[in-house]
């Protein structure tokens, strides 16, 4: 990656591969597709750091402007369209609309999901924003990335040029250990969606970028030629795919660490040598972010129909790619004719404005849900108390009955008295009388 004109098609393959497997996971086809989020985190860390190092005129103003236009605007458009559609569908149940949308807009959806005990791993699609926990962590990382970059450059200048590399290596190892230890103590949601436990994958990507930028450390052709390297790349990719199909969330921790390490190796192989540019592959890779944004809202609305499961999957895939292309056209693609760009800007502004109005007028049901939850908890306590009293009374009656039976066994003359005390429960039969 020494030349700006170089294009590494292998990175495009990785992005497409990760995006498709995650989509299949959301559709319930790939049980281990959640592992590919580690790949996206690693790749994001790598590309962010390498691009910053390559950019000699790196400035905070330009960085945050690109973050806003390329990352945040498409997110706002998807959120706005989702809210607009929600208002058009009668009897749609989405009680968390206001607080959940707020958490998405302000980039803390992962913490909101943890606080409200949401479960990303359930197959019930009860929200169109369940997958935005990843976007929240990515957004948080990109906000603080310039600070991390500045810190690395400062310690290199003040201590030594290898200091940041050593620091990042220790940081990557420590954050991985922290992730694993937390996985032993807490449930999967508490670990999977937490910023601090998931940061290890991003740090691995940053570390690889620093190594590449500083030392140009890539696989040497003295040990392996490029043709063999390509075979290794696709072999690992295929093996990774097979694992993602068979693994479930019960054994996630070690596999997520392994997924991160494999992702690092895939990126390493991809950056070995620029390959021929395939326009279709590059174009598809360029809309992977949009594909991720739109897939869950589409899945949420399709699941509220009466279509068959197979038809839901097919329609979801088709609509995901169609709307991803449209979203990319609106927010990312630039045209030479200014009039087209003005029209696009107007459409984007109108969509976000309408979505903003709907969001502002939406009622927050958080307090009502808390009251309902409190009532349900109190009712549950009452039910448990009544059940305990019922069991206690039942045991007392059983003890009394056992005592009576024991006394009858000891003195059969008491049997006639006990029978005489019984109520008549049948009439018309001399035997019953």
What are the pLDDT digits (tens) for 160-170?
888 999 999 99
Instruction: Give residue 382's pLDDT.
Output: 81
Residue with tokens 């299949």: 24
Query: Is 236 a residue whose pLDDT tops 90?
Result: no
More confident residue, 355 or 123: 355
Percent of the chain clearing pLDDT 70 (strictly above): 79
Question: Cα–Cα distance between 142 and 151 in angstroms, integer?
Answer: 15
- 48 vs 244 pLDDT, higher one: 48
| pLDDT value, residue 325 | 95
What pLDDT is stored for residue 157 in this prediction? 87
Q: What angle do CA 48, 53, 55 make, to 5 degrees?
A: 95
- Distance, in Å, from the CA atom of 378 to the CA atom of 384, rounded to the nearest integer, reads 10
- Give the tokens for residue 106: 């302000």
Residue holding tokens 């066994």?
409
What confidence tens digit (pLDDT) does each residue in 302-358 have? 988 888 989 999 999 999 999 999 999 999 877 778 888 899 999 999 999 999 999
Q: Can you tell me the distance from the alpha carbon of 117 to that of 309, in angstroms, rounded to the nearest whole number?
A: 27
Three-class DSSP labels, the chain: CCCCCCCCHHHHHHHHHHHHHHHHHHCCCCCCHHHHHHHHHHHHHHHHHHHHHHCCCCCHHHHHHHHHHHHHHHHHHHHHHHHHHHHHCCCCCCCCHHHHHHHHHCCCHHHHHHHCCCCCCCCCCCCCCCCHHHHHHHHHHHHHHHHHHHHHHHHHHHCCCCHHHHHHHHHHHHHHHHHHHHHHHCCHHHHHCCHHHHHHHHHHHHHHHHHHHHHCCCCCCCCCCHHHHHHHHHHHHHHHHHHHHHCCHHHHHHHHHHHHHHHHHHHHHHCCCCCCCCHHHHHHHHCHHHHHHHHHHHHHHHCCCCCCHHHHHHHHHHHHHHHHHHHHHHHCCCCCCHHHHHHHHHHHHHHHHHHHHHHHHCCCCHHHHHHHHHHHHHHHHHHHHHHHHHHHHHHHHHHHHHHHHHHHHHCCCHHHHHHHCCCCCCCCCCCCC
Most confident of 74-83, 116-125, 403-412: 74-83
Higher-pLDDT residue of 280 and 272 is 280
**pLDDT at residue 239 above 80?**
no
Question: Can you read off the two tokens belonging to residue 169?
Answer: 């290596």
Mean pLDDT of the residues in the chain: 83
pLDDT above 90 (res 179): yes
pLDDT at 425 over 60: no
CA separation for the pair 11, 14 (Å, rounded): 5
- Among positive and negative, which fits the CA dihedral 266, 269, 272, 273? negative
- Residue 46, pLDDT score: 94
User: How much is the pLDDT for 385?
Assistant: 78
* Residue 120 neighbours by CB distance under 10 Å: 18
pLDDT tens per residue, range 17-30:
899 989 998 998 88
CA distance linking residue 253 with residue 305, whole number of Å: 35
- Of 371 and 91, the structure prediction assigns the larger pLDDT to 91
What is d(CA 134, CA 198) in angstroms, rounded to the nearest whole number? Answer: 10
At residue 221 the predicted structure's pLDDT band, cuts being 50, 70 and 90, is very low
Average of per-residue pLDDT across 254-261:
87
Ranges 109-123, 378-392, 409-423, most confident: 109-123
Least confident of 241-245, 327-331, 403-407: 241-245
pTM of the model: 0.80
Whether 208 has a pLDDT exceeding 90, the answer reads: yes
Of 277 and 283, which is predicted with more confidence?
A: 283
Residue 5 has what pLDDT?
46
CA separation for the pair 110, 340 (Å, rounded):
36
Question: What pLDDT does 415 receive?
Answer: 59
Q: In the prediction, which pLDDT does 167 show?
A: 94
Comparing 386 with 246, the larger pLDDT belongs to 386
Q: Which tens digit of pLDDT belongs to each residue from 408-420?
A: 666 666 556 666 6
Q: Which of 89-93, 105-109, 159-163, 213-217 has the highest mean pLDDT?
A: 105-109
d(CA 191, CA 197) in angstroms, rounded, equals 6
């Amino acid at each position: 990656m020494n030349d700006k004109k170089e294009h590494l098609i292998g990175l495009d393959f990785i992005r497409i591969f990760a995006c498709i497997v995650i989509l299949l996971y959301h559709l319930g086809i790939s049980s281990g597709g959640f592992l590919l989020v580690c790949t996206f985190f690693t790749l994001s860390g790598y590309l962010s750091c390498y691009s910053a190092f390559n950019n000699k005129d790196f400035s905070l103003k330009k960085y945050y402007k690109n973050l806003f236009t390329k990352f945040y605007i498409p997110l706002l458009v998807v959120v706005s369209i989702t809210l607009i559609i929600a208002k058009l569908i009668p009897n749609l149940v989405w009680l968390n609309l206001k607080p959940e949308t707020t958490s998405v807009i302000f980039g803390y959806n992962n913490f909101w999901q943890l606080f409200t005990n949401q479960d990303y791993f359930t197959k019930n699609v009860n929200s169109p924003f369940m997958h935005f926990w990843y976007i929240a962590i990515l957004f948080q990382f990109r906000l603080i990335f310039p600070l991390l970059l500045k810190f690395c450059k400062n310690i290199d200048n003040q201590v030594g040029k290898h200091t940041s590399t050593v620091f990042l290596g220790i940081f990557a190892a420590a954050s991985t250990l922290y992730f694993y230890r937390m996985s032993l103590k807490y449930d999967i949601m508490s670990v999977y969606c937490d910023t601090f436990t998931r940061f290890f994958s991003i740090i691995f990507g940053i570390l690889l970028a620093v190594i590449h930028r500083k030392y140009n450390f890539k696989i040497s052709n003295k040990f392996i030629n490029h043709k063999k390297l390509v075979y290794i790349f696709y072999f690992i990719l295929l093996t990774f795919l097979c694992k993602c199909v068979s693994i479930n969330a019960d054994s996630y921790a070690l596999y997520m660490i392994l997924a991160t390490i494999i992702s690092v190796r895939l990126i390493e192989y991809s950056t070995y040598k620029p390959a021929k540019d395939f326009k279709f592959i590059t174009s598809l890779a360029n809309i992977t972010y949009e594909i991720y944004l739109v897939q869950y809202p589409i899945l949420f609305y399709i699941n509220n129909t009466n279509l068959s499961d197979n038809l839901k999957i097919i329609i979801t895939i088709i609509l995901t790619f169609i709307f991803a292309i449209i979203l990319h056209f609106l927010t990312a693609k630039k045209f030479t004719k200014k009039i087209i760009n003005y029209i696009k800007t107007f459409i984007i502004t109108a969509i976000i404005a309408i979505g903003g109005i709907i969001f502002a007028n939406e009622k927050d049901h958080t307090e009502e849900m808390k009251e309902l939850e409190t009532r349900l908890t109190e009712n549950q306590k009452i039910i448990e108390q009544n059940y305990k009293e019922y069991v206690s009374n039942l045991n007392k009656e059983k003890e009394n009955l056992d005592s009576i039976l024991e006394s009858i066994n000891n003195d059969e003359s008491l049997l006639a008295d006990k029978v005489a005390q019984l109520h008549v429960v049948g009439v018309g039969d001399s035997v019953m009388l």
